[in-house]
Amino acid sequence: MTANRNHTLYLVSAGIIWLIIQAAFLLSHGIALNGEPSKYINEANHFLNTGSLSSSNFRLYFVEILLIALAIKSTVGYGLVIAVHLIVNLGATLMIYTFVSKVFSEKTGFFCAILFLLNIPLQEFNVYLQTESLFYSFTILFSLYLLSIQNFTYKHAIFILLSIALLSITRPTGLLIIPPTFLYLFVRFNRSRYKKLQLSIASVLFIGFLFLLNNALGSGGEFDFMLPYQYEHIICGLPTIDQPAGIKTTSNSNSLYGIVYYVANNMGQFIKLACLKTVAFLGLFRPYYSNAHNILLAVLFYPLYIAAIPGCKWWYTNRPYMLLFLTGMIVVTWSSVMITCDDWHNRFFLSISFYVLILGLPAIHNLIKRLTSPK
């Protein structure tokens, strides 16, 4: 009876905190339409008027565009989009609580859910008509579903493939979840008698990933992957030099070959920029943020870095397959930043902040036990 009461108390408390945070953003921001949301609103109107997208790169944002188009056609208006954002975000919050409760304890699950809700930069996107809110929530739901699988079946395979397809048309970076996912599945559910078959399937999937990624790079629109190198962008859209650098590129630079060619022929500049982008990506500070904003980022995320150090050891000892996936997600996102540029609003880091939190949970769990155990 006590366990059920605690479970209910944790769920109700998390729900109240979730409601307060989302209501606070709605009251202070309303439904945010200015800036980047206008791009998706214009594209949704174009889709409604023509039945097609203005550029093929918008296929990689189609979920949000379609949702906005439905909102425009409905009597509900843009509130429909925000309602979907909030429902999926609430689902991700509850799944975090459930997953962590099974691995550690309900108390740790509750605390982890609250830390997720207190990720203010991430939660703020719930009231913006852009792709981040759904993408963050979808990746959390998918990741925890994947890590919860005990016996891999064809039903799991179909659901995983459909989920990856959904992620890939929510944001372009949805493609990055493919390598960690299939590496995790291949290692976690390896059977010696099927090794050759699994290796063959993994090879086909890897080739498929490279094909999809190459198509995404060359999808046109606003994508120009050599621009950050020509003007040495650390933060996307913020050049650090006035004149283009004399770099060697190919005629088809928006491709995997174009990026590999650049790296091979401009190694010095690439290494320099990769180091600076890493500092921006993991350091989080921005010169255009206020001191209070930068301090808030440090308070929110730097303790998680510290907790993740002993946490990795625990995951390696107790759940090595999960460690493989969690670190894999961080590495592929970090790598994508190093070969492009970091985001103005730390959006790329926010996509991996959940994985950093999970890595730090063993240390957080031990701290909670020390603080709440009877003296």
Could you report the per-residue pLDDT of 207-236, keeping only the tens digit for each? 666 666 655 554 444 556 677 888 888 998
Token readout for 229 is 């190198």
For range 35-39, the mean pLDDT: 89
Per-residue confidence (pLDDT) for residue 17, from 0 to 100: 95
Per-residue confidence (pLDDT) for residue 219, from 0 to 100: 44
pTM, entire model: 0.90
pLDDT per position as a tens digit, 160-204: 889 998 998 999 888 889 889 888 888 887 764 555 555 555 666
Token readout for 156 is 């799991």
Per-residue confidence (pLDDT) for residue 372, from 0 to 100: 78
pLDDT per position as a tens digit, 83-135: 999 999 999 999 999 999 999 999 999 999 999 999 999 999 999 999 999 99
Confidence label for 5 from pLDDT (cuts 50, 70 and 90):
confident
Per-residue confidence (pLDDT) for residue 154, from 0 to 100: 79
Residue 299 has pLDDT above 50, yes or no: yes
Q: What is the residue range of 119's domain?
A: 2-372
> Structural domain tally of the chain?
1
Residue 34 has pLDDT above 90, yes or no: no
Query: What is the Cβ-side half-sphere exposure of residue 309, based on CA atoms within 13 angstroms?
Result: 4
Per-residue confidence (pLDDT) for residue 107, from 0 to 100: 92
* Residue matched to tokens 């372009």: 172
pLDDT per position as a tens digit, 63-78: 999 999 999 998 889 9
